[in-house]
């Protein structure tokens, strides 16, 4: 096979080669003409000899003007092809003008016959493109043969798989050789796609071992989430690198290139089937409404804002005390041009006077209450702050919602409020109880949504592990057996909006969180997805349960059970009835303890209000005795 030099060829050599290709095209035009007319070439030899220097001069001038010799031939692009075509067209036009000039003012002969000019035009374009594309192909094959290409599988024998294969073959500098496709569709089993065999995903492990596969590219439009996880698990177990083709919405200018392929994220292992909502139902629910979102700069609050603005509300009031974070959200919405219906308010839910001003100014129809302190160890050491924010802040909002006849109040709660073992969980449970007890006092419908950990939220385990991996470890896990439920931020917020639309007041909506995940297994998978090896490249360190932390979380108390709703991923808990006056009196006594800053007194009163609150691994365990 022809072996091309790795250094760039001098431009003069390319220029001369292009003239030679053009000369070949002219000869081909003459061959076509005289083969079809049966005329001897000698009859027009003098015309050819006279016109050849002028022809080469014109072609060379056009090539130089359009700089077709300056491109690197082995990287010929569509832009190069366009420039070559225009230069040949302009050159042919100039040849035609000179030919007519010779006929009229010269010896009565054209520079070349019209049939020669036309045939040469098409032949020149064809040969010029063949020349460049041949060089590109030879160079590409040469690079591939010089490399020991990594055996690669494409997951998805559909249009995305074909596009990925084309991109992989086009990029000579990419290290990858397609050994097969795999697909979930059994009807494709045993067939070939562009000469490459298709196998079922169940055969993946055998193929990996047989072909010594080191890389798998996921290029499937709507994969079954369980099968996707199974494929990833097999790859991780066999040290196969996993890459992911982004959705077409993320392709740059609608075109896909291999540099858009990214490693699979840990979120892809935990995500479940996409949540299907009824957009018409939600538009009818939120269109034209004035909606207050507290904690709008947080992980959940900001995503609720992002989703609400798409349902044509009159205004979304974004309330938060975190100045920098709410500013970042404001800039994001402006960049996306979705800020026309938003209003930013800096304020603290603990400040009743500030909240009164917000309610008086905007008179909200709905409230999504996402503002809260959420970190278990921090609140275990600072019970008074959990009290004043999670309890008193919620009470302020509930009382104002009743006073200003707010239509709906949605409290964002947590699975840590169920049989709480820590101050944070108990403070959220008290907030739930007060909200539920207020449901019969006015026109406001109080609705609670309860779910577990959200992937990628501020301070959650996955961002922590990513930082620890970037710093070389170790990854810190509190206990080898600790488990948690996970849900992505967008899907959690989607379910919050759906629950709001179906609530009649007083309910606690519980979301289907899927299967609980062992944090130790999560850490191991994140290490493998990072291309590292446990104990060789990075360590996992067990630190022991933190104050107030459970080994596992629950979504229901012993007194609660659930009934189904029209949405398969939302259940509604049957809850106890609470007397508003009794709870209100208890909370007033509790919040009055804030000034004392006596943690034991505060926690003791919280345990009286929530009898199921039993401290775990905490200094407050003595209060349970």
How distant is the alpha carbon of residue 568 from its chain centre? 25
Distance CA 456, CA 470 (A): 16
Distance CA 625, CA 614 (A): 10
Instruction: Using DSSP, state whether 247 is helix, strand or coil.
Output: coil
Of residues 165, 215, 416, 525, which has the active-site annotation? 416
Dig out the tokens for 527 from the structure.
Answer: 């290490």
Range 125-142 burial, b when 16+ CB lie within 10 A, else e:
bebbbebbeebbeebbeb
Q: Are strands 475-477 and 290-294 parallel, antiparallel or unpaired?
A: unpaired
Distance CA 51, CA 117 (A): 11
Q: Which residues pair with 412 in a beta bridge?
A: 449
DSSP 543-586: --PPTT--SS--SS-TT-EEEE-SSTTEEEEE-----HHHHHHH
Q: Are strands 151-155 and 561-564 parallel, antiparallel or unpaired?
A: unpaired
| Sequence-distant (≥ 6) Cβ neighbours of residue 219 within 8 angstroms | 154, 155, 156, 158, 160, 161, 163, 164, 245
Peptide bond into 455 cis (omega under 30): no
82 is catalytic: no
Looking at residue 40, the DSSP 8-state letter turns out to be: -
Element (H, E) at 369: strand 366-369
Distance CA 154, CA 192 (A): 13
Residues labelled catalytic: 416
């Amino acid at each position: 096979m022809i072996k091309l030099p790795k250094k760039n060829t001098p431009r003069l050599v390319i220029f001369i080669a292009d003239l030679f290709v053009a000369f070949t095209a002219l000869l081909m035009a003459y061959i076509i003409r005289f083969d079809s007319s049966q005329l001897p070439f000698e009859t027009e030899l003098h015309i050819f000899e006279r016109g050849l220097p002028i022809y080469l001069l014109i072609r060379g001038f056009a090539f130089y003007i359009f700089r077709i010799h300056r491109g690197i031939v082995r990287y010929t692009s569509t832009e190069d092809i366009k420039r070559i075509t225009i230069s040949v067209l302009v050159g042919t036009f100039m040849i035609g003008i000179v030919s007519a000039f010779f006929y009229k003012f010269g010896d009565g002969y054209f520079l070349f016959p019209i049939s020669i000019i036309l045939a040469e035009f098409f032949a020149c374009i064809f040969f010029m493109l063949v020349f460049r594309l041949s060089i590109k192909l030879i160079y590409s094959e040469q690079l591939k043969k010089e490399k020991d290409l990594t055996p690669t599988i494409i997951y998805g024998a559909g249009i995305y798989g074909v596009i990925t294969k084309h991109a992989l073959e086009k990029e000579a500098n990419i290290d990858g050789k397609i050994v097969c496709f795999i697909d979930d569709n059994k009807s494709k089993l045993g067939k070939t796609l562009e000469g490459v065999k298709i196998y079922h995903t169940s055969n993946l492990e055998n193929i990996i071992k047989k072909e010594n596969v080191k890389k798998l590219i996921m290029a499937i439009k709507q994969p079954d989430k369980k099968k996707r996880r199974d494929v990833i698990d097999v790859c991780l177990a066999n040290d196969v690198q996993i890459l992911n083709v982004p959705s077409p919405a993320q392709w740059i200018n609608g075109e896909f290139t291999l540099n858009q392929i990214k490693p699979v994220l840990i979120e892809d292992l935990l995500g479940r089937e996409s949540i299907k909502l009824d957009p018409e139902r939600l538009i009818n629910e939120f269109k034209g409404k004035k909606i207050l979102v507290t904690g709008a700069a947080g992980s959940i609050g900001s995503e609720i804002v992002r989703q609400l603005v798409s349902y044509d509300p009159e205004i979304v009031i974004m309330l938060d005390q975190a100045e920098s974070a709410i500013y970042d959200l404001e800039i994001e919405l402006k960049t996306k041009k979705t800020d026309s219906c938003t209003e930013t308010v800096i304020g603290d839910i603990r400040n009743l006077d500030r909240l009164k001003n917000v309610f008086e100014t905007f008179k909200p129809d709905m409230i999504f209450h996402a503002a809260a302190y959420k970190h278990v160890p921090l609140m275990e050491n600072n019970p008074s702050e959990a009290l004043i924010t999670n309890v008193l802040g919620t009470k302020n909002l509930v009382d104002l919602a009743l006073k200003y006849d707010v239509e709906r109040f949605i409290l964002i709660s947590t699975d840590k409020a169920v049989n709480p073992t820590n101050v944070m969980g108990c403070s959220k449970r008290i907030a739930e109880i007060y909200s539920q007890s207020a449901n019969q006092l006015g026109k406001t419908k109080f609705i609670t949504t309860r779910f577990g950990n959200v992937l990628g939220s501020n301070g959650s385990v996955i961002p922590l592990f990513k930082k620890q991996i970037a710093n070389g470890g170790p990854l810190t896990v509190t206990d080898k057996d600790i488990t948690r439920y996970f849900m992505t931020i967008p899907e959690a917020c989607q379910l919050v909006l759906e629950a709001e639309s179906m609530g009649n007041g007083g309910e606690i909506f519980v979301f289907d969180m899927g299967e609980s995940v062992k944090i130790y297994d999560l850490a191991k998978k994140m290490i493998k997805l990072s291309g590292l090896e446990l104990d060789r490249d990075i360590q996992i360190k067990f630190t022991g349960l933190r104050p107030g932390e459970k080994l596992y979380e629950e979504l229901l108390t012993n007194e609660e059970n659930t009934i189904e709703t029209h949405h398969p991923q939302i259940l509604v808990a049957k809850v106890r009835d609470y007397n508003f006056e009794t709870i209100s009196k208890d909370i007033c006594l509790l919040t009055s303890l804030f000034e004392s800053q006596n943690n034991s007194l505060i926690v003791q009163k919280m345990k009286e209000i929530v009898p199921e609150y039993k401290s775990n691994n905490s200094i407050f365990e003595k209060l349970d005795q």
